[in-house]
Structure 1
Amino acid sequence: MNLTPVIPFEPINSTIIPKGDNWIAQIKWDGVRMLSYYDGIEVRLINRRKNDRTMQYPEFRSPSEYCSASSFIVDGELIAFDSNKPSFHEIMKRDSLRSKKSIEIATSQVPVTLMVFDVLYCNGEWVVNRSLAERQIVLSSIIKPNPHVQIVQNFTDADGLFDVMKTHHMEGIVYKNLSSTYVISGKDSRWQKRKLHQDLNMVIGGVTYRDKVVNSILLGVFSNGSLVYVGHAGAGKLTVADWMDLTSRIEPLIIASNPFANKPTRNKDAVWVRPEIVVKVQFMEWTLGKAMRHPTIQGIVANGSIQDCTFDA
């Protein structure tokens, strides 16, 4: 493949709505950031950490079914639904698979959609230095919507969109400046995200058991190179099978000493774990002591990197 994978442009966190007529709002989808690359010969799906996920999503192997360009890099979010809204836990059922047989089964059981919101490369030419408004015109001219690929819609009423997200218990919205260029590996205020809930990737540093099965995890994030305990969680979207699988994955990671720089509040029955397994956790807010209020586990991050588990992630 001639097109070298890149790290996508990222929005910064925000709690206010940007002012001005040059801003649009888009739904923040609770899925996996994914770029689709087509060099005219083969298509590849690569996530934001440059990990190849082409095998996991065979729906996108025929680029002509969803894009008319002779070559392209398009940016978007891969989502899967749980009842009537996107679910990180559901998309992980696809993203974590490695065998052809399991992928074949999951393709019919867990349908996915690529919500495309940007284009970096089109017909042999980089377009990252064009404005977002110009790139969206290019995007609308090449994408052929179908059940697996849709273009993310713009909204001018950001307040109204945020209220709709609240009503439907969605993740939040993203504000984008229409004059913004696309900065590869960049992150700045021309794109801003406003979340209804806090969520972070966190690493497991300890567990507790019930009847020899893990029933709660002690969670940490890195700050200045040290793993800081920020709370524990046992509630969320993990199924009984997920907990059983986590139990088997934890066993070879058990260590004798506490990996956290601070002392966890829940440590009496804790079994310490080498910090390698990453989970996505949603919570209401931080306490003054930097602990989570009402955390819930959204899913185990397939091949998650502990580099993502930081306070400013």
Structure 2
Amino acid sequence: MEFKPILPFEPIVTDDMPRGSTWISQIKWDGVRMLTYYDGNEVKLINRRLNERTSQYPELTNISAYCSAKSVILDGEIIALDEGRPSFYQVMRRDGIKKQQNIERAVKQIPITYMIFDILYCDGDWVLEKSLEMRQHLLRKIITPSMAVQLVDNYPESENLLEVMRQHQMEGIVLKDLSSSYSIGGKDQRWQKKKVFKDLNAAVGGVTFRGKTVNSLILGLYDDDGRFWYIGHAGSGKLSVQDWREVTAVVPALQMQSRPFENLPERWKGAVWLKPALTVKVQYLEWTPHQTLRHPTIQAFVSFPPDSCTFRLARET
């Protein structure tokens, strides 16, 4: 059979730790959510936005090397490490490559690991209604861990794991009820996430320059009425010198005479206004009372529709 891509089950944001004997916690890996589909003949990798990424990760297409199932749908996250920690910037470098020769080079330069945490289908049967505990047991039977493939571990002490994430400056934890079934396209309290660092996708509505090169992005989000609002400047983060050069090169094609924002950004003098066509993942500490981001840093450019960068979605992530 040929699988139709599905939307994965998502955790909700929480401030409180759920209590009870059925709850476990897992590391929240700062990577790319990816479902692996194998119908017995062909392997496909498809992300949470239903975009295929099979060619970008050739080390995962030989599924018999790590999975004994004759047909399967796996759920997990692809990560890339930088100095021993997951780096969203590095994994996005892999995720955005299109040319075959560049992919072959990147396999060696940016190794990835597929962190598998769930299974939806196995050997001709859907296992969605089985408990998470039973699905994890099934994963342990069919998955052979390797350098490129790992099973995500469970931890009983959520507070302790969260503190370890703080100490290592990692994103946070996911809390799951072991009795929970898997809800395709669902998002409810049976899976929850608690972050050390918050993040969101923002559209770029302007830039500032240092000399002839862009050195800061002016960020915005859309409200429910489609109006675009300034939420902060970001110039620090993980972009390389080459990334800033590439941003500088596209400015002339996106430049606007008037600002795209409803509100006037702070430090707007010298700004060059842009049509909101670029999207970045931004990490930040918190929202200010003026609805701007405190200490935003750029993690990477992402292939996310700029007009989908909304306050509503930002509050949910």
TM score, norm. by length of structure 2 = 0.96
SS at match of 1:261: coil
Q: Distance in 2 between matches of 1:277 and 1:98?
A: 18
2:196 maps to: 196
SS at match of 2:160: helix
Q: Distance in 2 between matches of 1:191 and 1:135?
A: 15
Aligned residues: 312
The one-letter code matched in structure 1 to 2:249 is S
TM score, norm. by length of structure 1 = 0.97
1:278 maps to: 279
1:105 maps to: 105
1:294 maps to: 295
Matched, 1:140 2:140: yes
For residues 210-251 of structure 1, the C-alpha deviation after alignment (integer angstroms, 9 at most, x for no partner) is 222111000112221222211010011111111011222333
- In structure 2, stretches of 5+ residues that fail to align are none
- In structure 1, stretches of 5+ residues that fail to align are none
Q: How does 1:237-256 map onto structure 2 within 5 Å?
A: 237-256=238-257
For residues 167-214 of structure 1, the C-alpha deviation after alignment (integer angstroms, 9 at most, x for no partner) is 111100000011111111111111110000111111111111222211
Name the stretch that deviates more: 219-228 or 53-62: 219-228
For residues 240-289 of structure 1, the C-alpha deviation after alignment (integer angstroms, 9 at most, x for no partner) is 11101122233322222221222211321111111121111111111111
Q: Which consecutive segments of 4 or more residues in structure 1 shift more than 4 A?
A: none
2:21 maps to: 21
Q: How does 1:69-84 map onto structure 2 within 5 Å?
A: 69-84=69-84
Cα offset, 1:307, TM superposition: 5.3
Cα offset, 1:145, TM superposition: 0.7
For residues 109-152 of structure 1, the C-alpha deviation after alignment (integer angstroms, 9 at most, x for no partner) is 00000000001111111111211111111111111111101000
Q: Distance in 2 between matches of 1:21 and 1:276?
A: 47
**Aligned CA-pair RMSD:** 1.2
2:35 maps to: 35
The one-letter code matched in structure 2 to 1:5 is P
2:6 maps to: 6
Q: Distance in 1 between matches of 2:310 and 2:28?
A: 21
Cα offset, 1:30, TM superposition: 0.5
The one-letter code matched in structure 2 to 1:274 is K
Q: Distance in 2 between matches of 1:127 and 1:221?
A: 38
Q: Distance in 2 between matches of 1:35 and 1:228?
A: 34
Q: How does 1:154-169 map onto structure 2 within 5 Å?
A: 154-169=154-169
SS at match of 1:247: helix
1:221 maps to: 221
2:266 maps to: 265
1:235 maps to: 236
SS at match of 2:256: coil
The one-letter code matched in structure 2 to 1:18 is P
Q: Distance in 1 between matches of 2:193 and 2:91?
A: 21
Q: Distance in 2 between matches of 1:3 and 1:15?
A: 36
